[in-house]
A and B are shown apart, each in its own frame.
Chain A
Amino acid sequence: MTDAVLRVSGATKNFGGVRALHNASLTLYAGEIHALLGENGAGKSTLLKTLAGVHRLDAGEIILDGKKFHEGSTRLAREQGVAVIYQEPNLFPDLTLAENVFAGRQKVNGKIVDWVGMQTEAQTLFDQLGVPLNPRSRARGLSIADQQIVEIAKALSLNAKVIVMDEPTAALSSKEVERLFNVARALAKRGAAVVFVSHRLDEVFELTDRLTVMRDGATVGTGITLDTTEADVIHLMVGREVSELFPKGFHPIGDVVLSVKNLAHDGLFENISFDVRAGEIVALAGLVGSGRSEIARAIFGVEKYSHGTITMLGKELAAGSPSKAMAVGIALVPEDRRLQGLFMAASIAKNSSVTILNRIKKGFLVRSKDEAEIAKTWGETLELKYADINDPVERLSGGNQQKVVLAKWLASQPALLIVDEPTRGIDVGTKAQVHKLLSDEAGKGLAVLMISSELPEVLGMADRILVMREGLMVKEFSRAEATSANVIAAATGAVTV
């Protein structure tokens, strides 16, 4: 390989009293795909945001293409050749794709915006990336995968030398992941250095050439991916061995808690029947968009359904009412914790107790002291890391936020817990804690319905696996029968694997 495109050394950054980066380093070469790994809070985000021009380092040096990198301006970062593709791209829904590619730097003839020029160039970029997108259509309603492609097209049109992809695969289906990988390889071939951030180690080993691991704000290891094993990486990330990531214990399975019969909703899912028993973890596997979350939402009453019945503890449940669902002991941990799971600006205490205000109120009043009490108890159980119980949850890391969502629903002492992507975007250590928690609660007789796109999680946690494809339940596996191969085959409709 040639000279480094980017060389970060001695990077240090503090936020108030918190040390986010401490003497971190990162070296990127042209044409490589480089994995950046670390638990949440390891400093990846801070480092990436510095490259994106959002933060300025307290100390340290960044050399980009032989020149000193000017920090602290998103516009300058872009002009210097760094492009960041975020997990959930930030497009302008009302603008056309062409305008999105050229946002803030529209092509002009003299003073007049050159619409045709922008559309032609956007079309060329989409063609190069091999995706059938129409530059004249609006961005509203575009899938996350396509939105990322628009961001990548933007990076290409800027001739970015460093392209950072921050957890791009978290919300993609496996087909879309495949397409993204091809695009990433094409970018590297053109001579860009691609930084790939992911919590999915299998992807890291499939895609990347080299990797760098961070822990507690420092770089703890860097090397060639082929010479490294998953165990090495996990060891570096957590600084300890994680022997069992997915530790569902064997508990006695009890009576039927939830029974779904012939559930259907026009255009979304059809003929869905299954039971979940006390102490059992049932996984709904399948591709993103196969109808799994829709079923969960129908059970919880957030969405309506057109046919079928849902029976909870022997009694039929009325459709379309989350409060009735809660009253019979159903809890839903939704897939998007920021938008659906938490009141981001409210305190940890308020979030943790919101499901049981009726239980803790005295007369008409809810006392903050009681809310804090509940939150502290659950915080202890879940090993929640926080400064003050009255801090807004938006100040917590992703993994700790997820713990608060779990706390608030476990506090309601449900009979059935539905978890939708319970460990999306959280670090390995917290993931293990969440898995242990689910297993423990199942051991106490909780029925768990788990939606997950992570195969190892499904295989490790579930007693039974129901596979969805295009709105239909196509296959059921027991824990003993399931392998990654036959679950994937059922989910994708592949004939052979």
Chain B
Amino acid sequence: MNRFLTRLVSVREIPVLLALFIVLVVTGIANPQFVSASGAQDIFLGVAVIATLSVGMTFVITMRHIDLSVGSTAGFTAYMIGKMSAHHHGLVTSLLVALGIGLIVGAANGFLVAYLRLPSLVVTLASLWIVRGVFDQIAGGDTVTDNQVPVALGYLGRHSFANIPYIFIIAFVLILVASFFMRSVRPARDLYAMGSNPPASELAGIPVARRTFFAFLASGAVSGLGGAILLARFHSADSNSGLGLELNVIAACVVGGVAIAGGVGTPYGALIGALLLQSITQALGALGVSQFWQLAVNGTLLISAISLDRYLTLRVKPTRILRVKS
């Protein structure tokens, strides 16, 4: 492979973007309806929630941690927003409550991981269950119905600007802001250092515990508010809302070039990853392939993504010694 190509591939977002393009073109040729405005709208609607949650997840994965609690948190707050609206609380109040729930979960995760140094995989698996358990207890078999969804959220979930759904625009703006933040603001740059070499970041004087805490706090806050997008998207919520969502979010991040080993990745990469996964799901649907194969294809894609990662990390090792002769 020549040097230009290598560099192109090592900007992790580019191969993903390329794959996305190929999926769209190939499916478009096979089924022209797929590339219509409504096809695009479906894809955008499909990624809005995952893209939103991937912002917090990118923070966390970049510093070599994981947050499994985002699906439970978002599902719980989606339900709470709907229920509070049904009891005639204003949208602002319910959003604040949602944010509060997210902050509490994020602060608990952050405290346990940053200050007690417990492994994030276990801590957030526990909080996934705890939040889901509390959620089940409160919701029982109850459902937030379409007419209980706050009017404004219902509107955002159903309408578009220039064929782009509002909830996607919200997620997109969030992604843009987060991407800028991660490129150009000091505490966010520290997350890359921490994920790249944890002991060295301590030696470099980076306040590792504080940064870890705030990254989990941010992930919690994003998930809390993400519940509003989830509610707007599905116009309903019950105790199953957001179940398993965290895995889709992690997949979007990894496919989009956020290395699970930390140190690299961007929120916009995660967005592209989410778009690719969603496009494939819908492309396979448009081509009449069964649900089972869609999951299998997503799995294969994940493995390709980490294989590419591995290849890129390995190939930079300088190996040639012989200079006399090839």
Measured CB to CB, the residues of A under 8 A from B are 52, 73-75, 78, 90-95, 99, 103-106, 108, 111-113, 115, 138, 140-141, 143, 267-270, 289-291, 294, 470-472
Partner of B206, one of A103, A113, A143: A103
Give the contacts of B22-73 with A (CB-CB under 8 A): none
B152 at the interface (CB under 8 A from A): no
**B195 contacts A94, C-beta separation under 8 Å:** yes
**A269 contacts B322, C-beta separation under 8 Å:** yes
Partner of B192, one of A73, A92, A290: A92
Q: How many residues of B contact A (CB 8 A)?
A: 35
* 21 A/B residue pairs, CB under 8 Å, sorted by A: A75-B205, A92-B263, A94-B195, A95-B192, A103-B200, A103-B206, A106-B186, A108-B186, A113-B189, A140-B316, A141-B317, A141-B318, A267-B319, A267-B320, A268-B321, A269-B321, A269-B322, A270-B325, A290-B321, A471-B322, A471-B324
Q: Determine the distance from Cα of A88 to Cα of B12 in the docked complex, in whole angstroms.
A: 28
> Which A residues are CB-close (under 8 A) to B264?
94
B162 at the interface (CB under 8 A from A): no
> Which A residues are CB-close (under 8 A) to B196?
92-95
**B316 contacts A113, C-beta separation under 8 Å:** no
Q: Determine the distance from Cα of A73 to Cα of B204 in the docked complex, in whole angstroms.
A: 11
A358 nearest CB across to chain B (Å) = 33
Interface of B is mostly: loop
> Which A residues are CB-close (under 8 A) to B190?
104
> Which A residues are CB-close (under 8 A) to B137?
none
Q: Determine the distance from Cα of A93 to Cα of B262 in the docked complex, in whole angstroms.
A: 11
Q: Determine the distance from Cα of A267 to Cα of B321 in the docked complex, in whole angstroms.
A: 6
Q: How many A-B residue pairs have CB under 8 A?
A: 98
**B321 contacts A289, C-beta separation under 8 Å:** yes
5 extra interface residue pairs, beta carbon distance < 8 Å, beyond A92-B263, A94-B196: A103-B193, A113-B189, A141-B318, A268-B320, A470-B323
Q: Determine the distance from Cα of A108 to Cα of B190 in the docked complex, in whole angstroms.
A: 13
Interface of A is mostly: loop
> Which B residues are CB-close (under 8 A) to A74?
202-205
> Which A residues are CB-close (under 8 A) to B300?
none
Q: Determine the distance from Cα of A140 to Cα of B264 in the docked complex, in whole angstroms.
A: 12
**A94 contacts B263, C-beta separation under 8 Å:** yes
Q: Which 7 A-B pairs have the closest CB atoms?
A: A75-B205, A94-B263, A90-B200, A471-B322, A104-B204, A141-B316, A92-B196
Pick the most buried of A78, A90, A103, A267: most chain B CB atoms within 10 A of its CB. Answer: A103
Q: Determine the distance from Cα of A72 to Cα of B73 in the docked complex, in whole angstroms.
A: 40
Q: Determine the distance from Cα of A106 to Cα of B191 in the docked complex, in whole angstroms.
A: 13
B290 at the interface (CB under 8 A from A): no
